Amino acid sequence: MLIMAQRQMKYEHQPWFRRLQRWRAGQEGTISELKRRYGVGRTLYREHAGCRRWVGGVIWGYNLKVAFPSLLPQMPNSTKPLSLYAAPDVGVPRAG
């Protein structure tokens, strides 16, 4: 048993294995963010083609957010999907 554990530790500490573990963790984090913040967990379209459209649009929007963060309005750091936030009132006079 001890020999197997040592062999496995040696195998899992190789640079390529650790690199793949980090890549996988990053992908899982991205999927989690897409589900929580962008609502990918539930599509409003029907059938496979509609689902592909929904996910494609969400991924396109996510890629824009990552590539050009300064061009997008700053949203609160929350687990609510971004679509639930109202657009900011720009140019609307405030009372008081």
* Chain Cα centroid distance, residue 7: 35
pTM reported for the whole predicted model:
0.51
45-62 confidence digits (pLDDT tens): 778 888 888 888 888 888
Q: Are the beta carbons of 65 and 58 closer than 8 angstroms?
A: no
- Contact in structure between 94 and 49 (CB atoms under 8 Å): no
Tens digits of residue pLDDT in 4-46? 788 899 999 999 999 999 999 988 888 888 888 877 777 777 7
Q: Where are the alpha helices (DSSP H) in the chain?
A: 2-12, 15-38, 47-67
Strands (E), 2-90: none
